[in-house]
Structure 1
């Protein structure tokens, strides 16, 4: 998805800035003193909230800038969830208060937003929207014993990095990108039993992670691809791959890459009159795919998250959000569900301790407007809800 590509840009920028940092930065002692002050402020704010009969939760996302519409969608869902909690008597006998911070989908801004939220006494944060900002926030929330649930980030690195850093308070309510590989492998095995299969990726973090999961799942099912390879992103010619496909004659080709490369490859395959079924990941939801395929993309299949607004469990929330005058997106529904998860776990553990809630969520499913959700050790969904779409004359049609 686009947030995955954005993360790479953010990560490289962060590494560049770190490499260029000079001796004028704070000393270790100064940094530790500043961190201690933030944690002291956070503790004081939590105590004050408890004495006032409040539970403070946070929302962090792009409330301004190019991605503002997604942040505002998250905010609508979160505000409704909080209103519903308070209308039902609050949480743990206390009134829930929502604090909102704008991270502009940047890492530095995310650090500031996360710091502000914990100093306001937040015990849970619904966010962030982008991968880099979620990773930055996880470092701060983990150290401050604050639960974090991202309603939007599908990049596998977010929970992978959190696990490597021994952060146990990071979760998500959407599937991670590479789970599409498992979803696709199961479909391929069922749809093309005993037939030749080909798998290629663009060697990007996005593509490679999906291809790795797909190949592992195919291996489990005893399927060995006739082609298992990689290509360079942004190619203008795919003659080598097309020639290899002509020779191997696979019934299905899975391409773990972005929409532009798959579009150009689809065109090359159609020109070469290859009958091979072309399948790819959710980046094919980008309408620009059709342009890159030069109108030859009919029949190309891709996986994507099922629309949250179509879930029957979400019907009432969707109707109320629509009544406000704007069509809710997935981010509004997911942000609402994230607060449901926190509230259910807080009630079950009889408190707001993030580590206790994290332990509970890794062992127990929670019923939400997204259905029943369960998590693995990393905080990833055990059963992400993917569905198929097929391009047909310029339109992506749900299957």
Structure 2
């Protein structure tokens, strides 16, 4: 519906208010019909919204693996509220308009809960569809501050996360930089995405509070094949460290360009660098690149059984697969506790209670953010991300 509503602002040729109202009514009617059909079959329909195609599809496929395992495990244990879970999925390609389409598709299928989205911009756009449709949404990966900040502004109470906020990741990086690069030249750049800008803004603010100003600060366009402008500036300024708030592909290509230019500047980035494709994009020149991420869920004793099941199925567990698994655990626990699937009641319960998951005991503040996320450092060495 968001995509449809936005098109109404395009000009005189856009849909009329009557057409908008009719389309909205049709979505609501389709959702009600689908939910009634699921009830009649003794089922509960939930959704997965993720990038299942495109450049970031690997992350979406990891989410799918975790979600499918969670549904299978819950169904084997008797389902939720004594009913079988059915998982529907929608590909949002980590896009904004694609997220509107994917969210509307899932709502029309009668979902009462959505595990997603992956990208922060997609999660925000999706929440505009799920909130009015009485669908609980838990993102396993969207870390941008705006995800829950905007939800609060728009009075959407049905959005939570099982992952930390970027501001805490930015603080973590800023404190490390201040302790280890005091008096050194540093640079901070982002890819102009919601994800990248959010991390960079928090990092810059935290460093400013510590009296540290970057000698390079700016944004670049995503998906470039050449970063000569930035690299030439670095040759002039010679920063000891460059923090790149961007996705793994851009950081990989930029790292390659810096190494070819014989720049020894240390490269630091965010959690999205925990992706084996980074090494390919760096063309084998990514050794020494540092990134922050959560302590691996695979090491948690609570995740041991699920990790073993995934590995037995030939799947290497990741934080994203286990986060997606945990999101469904959270939904199931809230549904059992409230004896229903009303999104507002589920969200209210979760803000007041903790839930046992493969990630440990999780609890949330009033914004829907985790109360205690933890970050650690990793460094790429010879094709492997090594915990520091």
Tell me the TM-score range normalised by the shorter chain. Answer: 0.7 to 0.9
SS of residue paired to 2:386: strand
The aligned counterpart of 1:214 is: 203
Distance, in Å, in 2 between the alignment partners of 1:216 and 1:83 is 44
Cα RMSD, aligned residues only? 3.6
Q: Tell whether 2:15 aligns with 1:26.
A: yes
Q: Structure 2: how far apart are the matches of 1:338 and 1:303?
A: 22
Give the corresponding residue for 1:287: 279
1:354 is aligned, of 343, 357, 379, to 343
Equivalent of residue 43 in structure 2, options 24, 43, 54: 54
| The one of 158, 171, 175 aligned to 1:169 | 158
**1:368 & 1:21 partners in 2: Cα distance?**
45
The partner residue of 2:25 within 29, 32, 36 is 36
Number of aligned pairs? 370
Q: Would the alpha carbon gap of residues 68 and 188 (structure 1) be closer, same or farther in structure 2, given more than 3 Å must change?
A: closer
Give, in angstroms, the shift of residue 83 of structure 1: 2.6
- 1:367 partner SS: strand
Deviations 1:126-150 (A, max 9, x none): 1223444433321111011110112
- The C-alpha deviation readout for 1:151-179, integer Å capped at 9, x for no partner, is 23334443343333222212222234443
Question: What pairs with 1:232-381 in structure 2 (closer than 5 Å)?
Answer: 233=220, 234-236=227-229, 238=231, 241=234, 244=237, 254=243, 256=245, 259=251, 260-261=253-254, 264=257, 270=263, 279-282=268-271, 284-285=273-274, 286-288=278-280, 290-291=282-283, 295=285, 298-381=287-370
Alignment of 1:12-161 (within 5 A): 18=7, 21=10, 23-50=12-39, 52-63=41-52, 68-92=57-81, 94-105=82-93, 106-161=95-150
Q: Is the 8 A contact 1:169 1:355 kept in 2?
A: yes
Tell me, which stretches of 5 or more residues in structure 2 are unaligned? Answer: 221-226
Question: Which string of whole-angstrom CA distances, capped at 9 and with x for unpartnered residues, describes residues 202-227 of structure 1?
Answer: 2534444223323444466xx21154
SS state of the match for residue 31, structure 2? helix
* Paired residues of 1:199 and 1:225 also in contact (CA < 8 A): no
Provide the TM-score with structure 1 as the length reference: 0.77
How far has the Cα of 1:282 moved from its partner? Answer: 3.6
Counterpart contact for 2:7–2:14, Cα < 8 Å = no
2:169 touches 2:199 (CA, 8 Å); kept in 1?
A: yes
Matched residues in 2 for 1:61 and 1:300: separation? Answer: 27
Distance 1:268 1:325, change over 3 A: closer
Q: Aligned partners of 2:180, 2:152: CA distance in 1, in Å?
A: 35
Q: Is the 8 A contact 1:201 1:230 kept in 2?
A: yes
User: In 2 relative to 1, CA 327–186 (structure 1 residues): closer, same or farther, beyond 3 Å?
Assistant: same
Task: Give the superposition deviation at 1:262.
Answer: 5.3
Per the alignment, in what secondary structure is the counterpart of residue 142 of structure 2?
coil
- TM-score, normalised with respect to structure 2: 0.79
Whole-Å separation in 1 of the counterparts to 2:380 and 2:53: 33
